[in-house]
Each structure stands twice: as structure tokens, then as C-alpha cells.
Structure 1
Amino acid sequence: MKKLLLVVQLLLALTLTSCGNEDAPLTRQHASMMMTSGERIKLSVGFDNGEGSKARAMMVSSGLSDFIPQDEMGSDSYGSYPYLRWRPMRKETSKAVFTGEATEPVTLIFYHGSAAYPVAAQVKIKNVGGRYRGDIEAEIPAALSGVTRSSIEVAGVLGATSVNATTGKVTVSAPPAILEGEEMQNLPMYFPKTALSTSSDVISGIRFEFLGVLVLIPTYATNTTYAFTPEVFTFGPSRFSESEVEVDLSAGGAPKLTRTANSTYIHPLRETVMGGTMVKEKMHVLYVYPMDLGVITPVFPTIYGTYYPMVGNQYDKAQAKKFVIPRLSNINIQQFPQGGRAVVYDMSMIYFNGTNGNGFFIGDNSGTVYSVFSGRAVDFNRRRGW
């Protein structure tokens, strides 16, 4: 799969503190597109924020480094308890870096009045003085032939899986989760409505922005006789984030995102084994789509997975048990920001806090028993070990 050669900088957004398989091929866009007029335009687009960079493998860099474990004492209405925090000493800007100078499909949506006309096009990426630019050449839809250019607007989506030929709404899906240091599929992006020019066929100054939010989940497992496999992550049943959304760019500015019938708020993690005879640290990376809930709502970040007893250097899958790493909410928000990042700290498998966990946050009301692990030693009797 060809990948884009560019660097795009993610804005620092929200941090959630303690207080508080192989990648599938990129799915290409498919839909019935409009007939074109033969009138061509060229869009000059940007991806980075003005930074120079060198070409390298397509990676997501969290910007977090130099993690250290810190033992503290916490307290609640039941009394005090040991608490191990695992935090980075350095926090920098997150970046998404794509590789392979290429030509990639892009969906353009032309607007005139209340009508939308999607057109399939391509973006050609090039390096200009260390900065990454793209050129999109496209034909104006036949229905708009002869229409005054200044009354026509165009928007675009990179990474679409489908587009509605009538409404111009575009569907995008979240790429599979990775561990930091692994390659990630292209992160869907957009540029907002821009008016065509009456005096030129070239439109410049357009910039692609991220549609999703980058979720960074540093996890930590201490030296133990068990092996842990974190499997899914969720912000809770309030559905702060979705795996698939329909993108509506018709209003201009930031797009309206609507979850699809196929979407889920339970996000699979990259399969990995932690624990065992050595301490293991992992940075899980997700790119998902933020939802505006309309009201301020508490966030409940939670990991669910399976753990196994170790037999020598192997783990015994025949004795698998389910576990949960729950977190009390330390923030209340209405929406995670598009193009931002959310760092979810203290998702640790250190202290065992009993088997009173449940699957409420992933809709598992079947009575499945979940062992509770966290960085807090809050004993077996407190509510789900928080």
C-alpha cells in the first residue's frame, strides 16, 4: 500500500490523569460519483504546520517519553492505600508521519446552494523545501457547468470509505490500533468548504485537518506470575468516541460527525502480551472520532482483557480469566476536540483488587466475573476496585 509522505502536527488537547493483528489494507472510497463537465481546477493543499521534517516510516509519535513509576499514598472515604503512578517526565507535541511519496484518492464535494456533488479525485504529495504539499486536480461536476465559479464551494476528505452521491456526506472508519513504534494506516483528514475563484483555476491556501482524536494509553504491568493481554478500550457507555462516522461538511468550518449503524464505542487494542517474568510497558495508540454529547458528561476510561497464569516462560490459555482496569472519572467534558490528543494515564496491572469487576462499560451485563487490577491497592471490597 502506498502511503503519504508528510508530517502533520496534532494539537495538544486533553489529558486524563490519575486524579481525575496485522493492519488490514486501507479501504478505498467507493460510491457513484457525479458526471464531470471537463472544466478543471487545481487545489494546492498543505498538511503540516510549517515544520521541516525528514522522510521516515509512517509512525505516530506520542510526544511522551521518560516514563518512571512513582509510589505514593492515596486516600478515600475508606482510608489510605498505596498508589503507583506511571508518568512521563517529558511531554511534547504528538506527530503523525506518513511514508512513501504517492498519489492517493481523495473525495471532493462541490456545493452550490443546498445541493452537493461528490467527485473522485487524487492528491499528489511532494516535498517542497522540507515541507509537504499536495496538488489535487479535479473536474467540476457537469451539473455546475456554466455556474458562476464564486458561487461554488468545494470541501474534501482524505481516507473516505464511501460517500453518499446525493447528500455528499462521507463515511470514514478508524484505522486499527497500534503500539507506538509500529506503522499505522492513514489517518482520515478533511479540508473545509472553500469558494472557487472566478479569476483562476488554481486555489491555494487549503489545509487538511484531522477528523479524529489521537488517544494515547500508556500501560504498565509489573513483574508477576501472570501474563496480561489488554483487548479493548472505552471511554464509557456515554459514547465519547466512535469507530465509524459520517462526515457532513456542508455547513462550512469544522465538520459535523454522526455515528453510523456499524460504529462502536468499544475500541479493539493492538494484541500484545504484558507481564510475565519481566516488567513490560506499552503505549497503545488509537485514532477515533469524537462525539459532541451536548452536555458535560463524566469520562470513564476502562480497559478490558484476558490474563493467564505463567507456566515457565509460557502462559496457560486453558486457565484464562477476564480482567478490567477501571478508572473513576477525573474530568467532565462535552466533547474531545477534533485534531487533538487524549492521554489516558494509570492504566496499570499492578495491584489485584478482587473479582468484583463487571462488564458494564462494554455492555456486558451477563454476569461475567472480571478480576480488577489497577495502580491502586484499594482492597477487595471497594466498588469494582476504584
Structure 2
Amino acid sequence: FAVLGRCVFAPLAIYVFLFHKLYQLISSVDIVEKFLRNQQTLVPTRYSYTDIIAMTGHFKEKLGQGGFGSVFKGRLLWDRLVAIKMLTNSKYNTGEDFINEVSTIGRIHHINVVKLIGFCSDGMQRALVYEYMPNGSLDKFIFSSNKGPNHKFSLDKLTDIALGVARGLDYLHKGCDMQILYFDIKPHNILLDHNFNPKLSDFGLAKLYPKNNSWVSLSVARGTIGYIAPELISRSFGVISHKCDVYSFGMLLLEMAGGRRNSDPRAENTSQVYYPLWIYDKLINNTIEHDTVQMDLRIAINEKEKKLCMIGLWCIQIRPLDRPSMSKVIEMLEGDVSSLQMPPKPFFSELTQITPVVSYLKTDSGEITMISDAADEIN
């Protein structure tokens, strides 16, 4: 039996394992190929992996890296610059997220949504070819750690960027044939063109639904920690709908207005970590604290900064029904701050512990891949 185990069963088990892995790879390629053949009106161009190598000059200039893989600078034959996202993460190799992004962004044409020029699906080599955004992502321009002269926006420009992002989201929710829920709004996914006009990018987590659906079915939460709507964590807060994107946009507005991330890992307790409560207290007092040469100064909040904060707090209301739609948000951003009512105090400010309630698995990029329902513990 020992000899049989070593000479027969062990090799057989290895062969079965290798066959299973090969079958998974072939199935993944078949799924993607079937999808691409069915896209008769697909506008983006399909490139081979050899084309991608030529465009990037053998991946010479790397622009960035994320949980999906790496982004490289490329150039088309007619000298147009592009950004090429190489999908190397194992979750993209299943084909689902690749199909998701091509099918979603491939049908979108809006000034505030990044344009998908082409894609590559050559065996297991997959890539997405986007228009090149010379000013990179919004996150490097708004957080307080970046205080150089080239990393500052006026409040007027911040409002313009917020309006552009809101218009892009409103188009996704109402302007397409299908309702598109983005599910991953954060500064890192807002790209800026040569005029600093914002464009939504990275549609790997987006989902398409019929327009007449007032709520959507989603078995697994998706998004990035710090921007996820409460109903994605526990259905006791409400149903999943386009209001999830409104919540994430509200967190984005608060970060843009305050110039700091909504979660501070250096904070000593939860009340310090919950950034919206800090914003709310500053609005109530109508002052904001600034540390200058070891002196604590209290300066009145600028009206435009106040407007961004108030709209952000309305967007992150705990119940989806209490949040405005994106079209209403656009109206609020275009209006005067005097027409806005003070939003209610953030609900989570009453909790002393939030983090232990949620059980999740997190990738290096901060994206949630699985999350448990913690309704009973929260209630």
C-alpha cells in the first residue's frame, strides 16, 4: 500500500490538481471570449498583447499600482498618449471584473467619465487602454500631507470638481440605457485631465441594473473602507440602491472640504476616528481649528467650504431615504449656501465602537471582498 500510494495515488492526485487548474484557466478564457463575441457594437478597439508591449515600450514607464495590477504610460500609432491598466490580480483572471469594466465603461460617453479606448484579452493577458490623464488622481491634491504650491486647489475649483463628479454619477444613475451603480467612489478613482476636469475611472466594481429597479440585489458588499454605505454592511439600514453612491460621494465631499482622510489611523479612540462628527462640530461652532507655530487658531469657516460640508453631511445620512439624489446634489452645489438647511448629527457619533462590529476581509488596496451582516450587533 505504501508503494501504491507513492507510485500511483500521489501522481494521480497531482495530475487531478493540475487538470483542475488548467480547466479553470480555459473556462475563464472561454467566458471572456464568449462575452467579446457577443459585443457586436462594442466601440473600444481590441488589441493583442503584442500591441500592448509596443504601446508601452516593453512597459517602460509605470504610472501607478493598485490591487488590480499596474498602470503604464503608452502611446498609440498616431502619437496619442494612453494609460494602460494591466490586470494581474487573480480576481480579474476569473474574467468577471474584466467583463464588468468593458461592458460598463465601453458604453459610456460623458465628459466626466474616463474614456475606454481599447482592451486586450490575449489568453490570460488582460489589459484596459484608457485616455491619458496628465494630472493623475484627485487624492494627491486634496489631503493635508500634500502642502506644496502645486498641490492646492481654491474652494471655487474644489466646487467645480465636486460638480463634475456629481454630474458623472448622475449620468450613470439616469443617463444611460441601464442604471449603473459605481460602488467605488474615492479620491483615488477621480482622475484629472490637463484642465483639472474630473473623470470617474475604474469600473471594476460597477453593476448594471434596469432603470425601473428602485433597489438592487447584491450578495457581497463591495467598495473601499471609509466610503461604504451602511446598507452595504447591514440590510437593517435599508435596501441597496443608487443612494449607496450618494453616501460615498458625501464622504468624498467631506474629504475635499476638510483636506484630510475620513479615517485617521493615528487617532486614539473611535470618536476621533469618525471624521464626519468632527466636521459637524466645526459647522455648529462655525469655526475650524488650525495649528500654526504651536498656536491653536480658530478661523471662521468659509461659506463655500461650509456648503461642501453641509451637502456632504446630507449625503451620508444613515437612512438611504434621507439622502438626496445626485440630481438634487447638483442643484445644491449650484445653489447658495443660505438655501441649505443644517443636516442632522451623524448617527454613528452615538456609537463608542464601530470597527469591532464589522467583520470583513480586506485587500491591500482597502477594497472589501467579503463582509458579514452585523445587524444584530449594531442594533
TM range (shorter): under 0.3
**Larger proportion of strand:** 1
Structure of greater relative contact order (alpha carbons < 8 Å, 6+ residues apart): 1
**TM-score, length-scaled by structure 1:** 0.25
**TM-score, length-scaled by structure 2:** 0.25
**Larger proportion of helix:** 2
